[in-house]
Amino acid sequence: MVEGSHPAEASGITLALGGGGARGLAHAGVLATLADAGIPVRAVVGTSIGAEIGAFYCVGLGPDRIEDMAREMDWMATFRLFWPSLEGGALTSGRNIEAYLRERLGTGTFEGCDLPFRAVATDMWTGQQVVLDTGNLVEGVRASIALPGLIKPFKVDGRLLGDGGLVNPLPVDVARRLFGGPVVAVAVHPGARGPEERADEPDPFRESEEESAGPALIANLRRAVQITQAQLVRLRLEASPPDLTLKPVVPGMSTLEFYRGGEALEAGRQAAMENLDRIRALAEPA
């Protein structure tokens, strides 16, 4: 598909998958439910964990395989991924994460994806949004997930890139501009649900006791980023609202609790199932 072209008569939906750490495993549950229901996806634009899950899907791994990968993430596997090294001003260098991505994405490229895919990152020198659409998928995803303080920024084509959530945590506007509507957004970041929606989670930015026991500097930085992202999403959605927003509910799940993948997957499946009729109606050609 040529960038910017999006025929109105095409069937299917465009997905905007947001950031949110381990909560983003819910994206895999959404994708699996859409596949089970036979609802076509035209393109995917992802930020941070949304870029990771989106890349797995668009390169052709399949929803079942992605769900299996999420369920395989136990406590020890999570610790190995985020092995502390304190390099580059972050908790981890990201080397183990790169190896994990390479095992699953191989030498895949944006151009070679089965479905059109874009990843959103942030230029750490200029503060500008960067939409990655060419070259190596591993590099693109690695850049998009480089959350400040947690994962070291990553250079792509001479640019130092960081987590896309710094500028666009839920890339609805990018998805609509590049691929057209209908756009279904999946919001998993803390604060995605308003106060009236989260009686079960009155303080969405509070990390679990286990994670809060870590370095106070990292915990405070992460919380500050999450609060800022929540406000940024609200402003961006006012300017470019999706046709539908899914908000999987995983109460109390913190950034690095990837070993709770089963809970996130079920939350994603439930959010998609509850809105399946609306999604199916959106996917029908105009």
pLDDT digits (tens, 9 = 90+) for 28-67: 999 999 999 999 999 999 999 999 999 999 999 999 999 9
Q: Quick check: 197 pLDDT over 60?
A: no
DSSP class per residue in 219-260: HHHHHHHHHHHHHHHHHHHHHS--SEEE----TT--TT-GGG
The pLDDT tens digits for 138-165 are 999 999 999 887 899 999 999 999 999 9
| pLDDT(210) > 50 | no
**Residue 8 pLDDT grade (very low, low, confident, very high; cuts 50, 70, 90):** very low
pTM, two decimal places: 0.86
- Based on the residue annotation, tell me whether 114 is a catalytic residue of this protein: no
- Among 176, 181, 179, 151, residue whose Cα is nearest residue 165: 151
In contact, 227 and 205? CB cutoff 8 Å? yes
Please confirm, yes or no, whether 85 is among the known catalytic residues. no
Q: What is the pLDDT of residue 193?
A: 56
Catalytic residue among 48, 123, 144, 173: 48
Mean pLDDT check: name the lowest of 31-40, 133-142, 190-199.
190-199
Catalytic residue, candidates 64, 93, 144, 163: 163
